[in-house]
Structure 1
Amino acid sequence: MQHTNTQDTLVGLFVAAGIAGLFFLSFQVSNLSSFTQKATYTVTARFDNSGGLKVKSPVSAAGVKIGQVSSISFDPKTYQSVVVLQIESQYNTLPDDTTASVFTAGLLGEQYVSLEPGGSETFLKDNGTIDITQPAIILEKAIGQFLFKAAEEKK
């Protein structure tokens, strides 16, 4: 088989497309895919345990991503995790009695904050606070409690 310049060009294009695909995939996996800055407002939530929540973890409502976690810190006075959320401005009609929970996507997936809207007539404002929160469920702790309870029942 004869080696031609057309073959070299096609192989080069194929390799370039593969590299571009890997580049795009790495941005998707690392949550860096949004190059454009959307207008957001800030909301703070305090959790007894934020689990494995990370900066840039998604914030969702009804399964739709509406923002992301911008910072996580520890309050030494209340011994709580302080999570700052950046919510896209188009979702500025979340009631001020909205609840926030930390969930895991799938059995071993990443953790995210899920917002459950309440029924209040007033809305969360910039620099507002979500007062009702539910901490992350730690799988190891839940299994340990189950095993401890099962051992108690056998006695």
Structure 2
Amino acid sequence: MEKTKLELIVGVFVLIGIVCLGYLSIKLGKLELVGGNVYEVVAQFNSASGLKPGSAVEIAGVEVGRVRGIVLKDDRASVTLAVHDNVKLYSDTIASIKTRGIIGEKFLALSPGGGGDALKSGDTIRDTESGLDLEELVSQYVHGKVN
């Protein structure tokens, strides 16, 4: 009887540990089990080099969403953004690919406008700025093509 009770207690602790590990994996990985309260907008860039699905979308240094996907469309990178519902973007919003530090990770910075119509799910951000490609700049410098 005592052996069965001990096995039951150990089993409960193992089950609690697995549930806690799963919870931490979801929270630390910033995964969403359900769609969440987000809407999707699209931004097209000449180059989305270094940007990956799951990269942060920020306004004034505050994370307001994530990059959902990146596909090639008409020789341009079409980036789908999942932005939280409580953040309002307007038609004059500017999307820029930025880098944390000199060789840090890439993220997408939004500069929200104040005018124009509010963007709805599926709309496109028209004003974009591609990220600075450090390798291309070094290559131009080495080959003497810097203006």
Does the TM-score normalized on the shorter chain lie above 0.5? yes
Aligned residues between the structures:
129
Give 1:144's aligned residue. Answer: 139
- Unaligned runs of at least 5 residues, structure 2: 1-16
Give 2:112's aligned residue. Answer: 117
2:67 aligned partner, one-letter code: V
Give 1:69's aligned residue. Answer: 67
1:127 aligned partner, one-letter code: G
- Unaligned runs of at least 5 residues, structure 1: 1-16
Pairing partner for 1:90 from 86, 92, 111:
86
Give 1:108's aligned residue. Answer: 103
RMSD: 2.8
Check conservation: 2:66, 2:81, Cα contact below 8 A: yes
Give 2:57's aligned residue. Answer: 59
Q: Percent identity?
A: 30
Q: Quote how far apart the aligned CAs of 1:53 are.
A: 0.7
Q: Quote how far apart the aligned CAs of 1:145 are.
A: 2.9
Matches within 5 A, 1:25-64: 28=28, 30-32=29-31, 37-64=35-62
Query: Matches of 1:84 and 1:152 in 2, distance apart?
Result: 33
Query: Matches of 1:31 and 1:51 in 2, distance apart?
Result: 22
Q: For residues 58-109 of structure 1, what are the alpha-carbon distances to aligned partners after superposition, in whole Å with 9 as ceiling and x for unaligned? A: 100111100001111011xx20000000000010x22211010111111222
Q: Does residue 1:127 correspond to 2:126, yes or no?
A: no
1:90 counterpart SS class: coil
1:137 counterpart SS class: coil
TM-score, normalised to structure 1's length?
0.71
TM-score, normalised to structure 2's length?
0.74
Q: Quote how far apart the aligned CAs of 1:37 are.
A: 4.8
Query: Matches of 2:27 and 2:49 in 1, distance apart?
Result: 24
